[in-house]
Chain A
């Protein structure tokens, strides 16, 4: 109990003194996860929607694989990306290992299937509602996907937020590919893991509270920006 209290205290101290290290790693956390989220959404939203409207031979198989990939263990993804970017790996020459870029790549791989799968579920419903109309209007595949994404944007936002949640709270993959290097690749989660290992529970908890507050803040911000639950039922 004492530790939790001390943690809260530490969190307040860090925030109110605008601790420069805290700000730096918080910003890096955001930079990595928001970039990964944008890239993953750009891939996953059209992909999930396309899977909902398109009938092809291995569709069922593709959906099962996608759903399975939702549970992709971050540590294994981290290991794969590590091997790809390590000096002897195929992309070794790019020198990306232990950089935020490698962390972004790992997170994109982790959250894309999650966003695509939730998107697919949501879009399947909307598609069954719109199907006849969009077919009758002679729309192209691109026009269909655009219409569904536009009109299903509220549910898609939930999908994206789920992806963001997974990304910002993820530690396994970015620890391996980023290396938790101070001032270079240290983010909130890797810092928490480090401080816990060092036995500095107050600081670890403080960082933890900051992380939770950050996630809440972003969710509220996005919800109020997009006016969910305000105008009508969609």
Chain B
């Protein structure tokens, strides 16, 4: 277990796919604390950015370092994908899977599974096949499964896309609780309202480049770039 928050530094990181520039060059120093929201229009490179930080996207150029060794950093992280991936197993087995992988003892697993099933409101569906859950329930299951290892950093890619108000509220509560328990969150969202509700700090990406990195209070009140200003005004920026 690593003490204190993790920090990450990116040194001219570039990601190209099929010769096309997707992200970068990106220079960034960041300490993960509270909830960091990554904002930007479609195609700004938000998902790629999250995957780079998580270490699952190949970097074409430049370097990225976490404050701990890469292997350890990965162990302290979890990632929830844009469309939730559920295993073709029961809800309980889905929750238990990340713990089984690291050889957690059975009694501990069953304890944590029932705790998290309650937190995500699926305690009555433990034996229910996860593939038959609704979209919102799947998303909550994916978040519960990600948090069950109590990661230092949780990446969320559009956790509330296509969800209704109630699911959004429940998920936001989960995330808030997780930060109180010591998990830092780095998430993308298209929902400015959600960003305002949750963000402690904001990264604003546009065209694969970082345009702004500031505390949420600053970003939403006095954004320093005109692009961010237009984005907040709801103008279409490309």
Complex-state Cα separation, A231 to B129, whole angstroms: 8
Complex-state Cα separation, A133 to B101, whole angstroms: 13
Are B132 and A233 closer than 8 Å at their CB atoms? yes
**Which residues 112-158 of A have a CB within 8 angstroms of B?**
126, 129-130, 132-133, 135-139, 143, 147, 151-152
A143-B101, A147-B87 given as contacts; is B81 within 8 A of A133 (CB)? yes
Complex-state Cα separation, A129 to B74, whole angstroms: 21
B88 CB contacts on chain A under 8 angstroms? 126, 151-152, 234
Q: Say yes or no: is A199 at the interface (Cβ < 8 Å to chain B).
A: no
Distance in Å: Cβ of A228 to nearest Cβ of chain B: 13
Are A232 and B129 closer than 8 Å at their CB atoms? yes
Q: Say yes or no: is B79 at the interface (Cβ < 8 Å to chain A).
A: yes
Are A234 and B131 closer than 8 Å at their CB atoms? yes
Are B101 and A136 closer than 8 Å at their CB atoms? no
Are A136 and B56 closer than 8 Å at their CB atoms? yes
| Number of A residues with CB within 8 Å of any CB on chain B | 18
Contact with B along A197-234 (1 / 0, CB 8 A): 00000000000000000000000000000000001111
B138 CB contacts on chain A under 8 angstroms? none
B87 CB contacts on chain A under 8 angstroms? 130, 133, 147, 151
Known A138-B75, A234-B129; 12 more pairs at CB < 8 Å? A133-B87, A136-B54, A136-B78, A137-B101, A138-B74, A139-B101, A143-B101, A151-B87, A152-B88, A232-B129, A232-B131, A233-B131
Listed from nearest, the 10 A-B pairs whose CB atoms lie closest are A234-B88, A133-B85, A136-B79, A232-B129, A151-B88, A138-B74, A135-B56, A132-B81, A232-B132, A137-B98
| Interfacial residues, chain A to chain B (CB-CB below 8 A) | 126, 129-130, 132-133, 135-139, 143, 147, 151-152, 231-234
